[in-house]
Structure 1
């Protein structure tokens, strides 16, 4: 199973539409997971035109997105438990907040966003993954997203590009 992982799209303020490089990269995925900060319900519909979608709401999302997705969840895909949270809050690094959100739960992967910084690390046997942002790179050199492959093992990769049009 191939899953596109995105976060922090901040559309339409950071991009008027889904970047073409992202559209190409998500082609053929079985599912898209969004780790929050969609910002507008129309963004959900835009991504649904590419593949089925699930996700969580971020700190810049309104009530409609919060009601649909919630702020934290665990989903099971291909036998793996995936924890999802945006990761906003105070104190500590974003990845630490994401880790702590699932400290009392059994998960194989934690997907988070908020920092716009691509992150990939295995911690105590759990893959912790932030795809970065496909539309708002902030201080990062390139825009990014991720692909999670679930088979006999879990594989996560970042993909980068320079043009968000």
Structure 2
């Protein structure tokens, strides 16, 4: 199963449409996971044209997004348990808040956003993934999102690109 993972789209403020490089992957994806800070329900409608969409809300999302999605979720995909949370809060790093959100659960992977800093790494036996942002790179040189290939194992790849538009 191919899963496209995004976070922090901040649309329409940071982009009026989905970036061309992201759309290229969406055309062949089986599932889309959004780790919060969509901003507008319109993002869900754009993504849903490509594949089923799962996700959570972030700290700047509209009431429509908050009503549609939970703060944290555990997805069961091809026999794997994957936690999804935005990661916002205070007092700790975003990574630590993401780990704490699932401290009472047994998950193989945690997907989070908020920091806009792309990352794939293991903490003990948990694969952590922050896809970065496809529309708001902040001070980083590239926009980013992630692609998961999930079968017996989870393979995660970050996709980096320089242009938001086609």
Instruction: Provide the rounded CA distance (Å) in 2 between the counterparts of 1:149 and 1:104.
Output: 26
Structure-2 residue corresponding to 1:54: 54
Give the CA deviation at 1:46: 0.5
Provide TM-score, normalisation by structure 2: 0.97
Structure 1's unaligned 5+ residue stretches are none
State the partner residue of 1:124.
Answer: 124
The residue number in structure 2 matching 1:150 is 150
Between 42-51 and 127-136, report the one with greater CA deviation.
42-51
- Does 2:84 align with 1:84? yes
- 2:110 maps to 110
Length, aligned pairs only: 165
- Partner SS state of residue 91, structure 1: coil
TM-score (norm 1): 0.98
2:34 and 2:55 in contact (8 A); partners too? yes
Contact 2:78-2:152 within 8 A present in 1 as well: no
Tell me the SS of whatever aligns to 1:160.
strand
RMSD: 0.7
Give the Å deviation of 1:117. Answer: 0.3
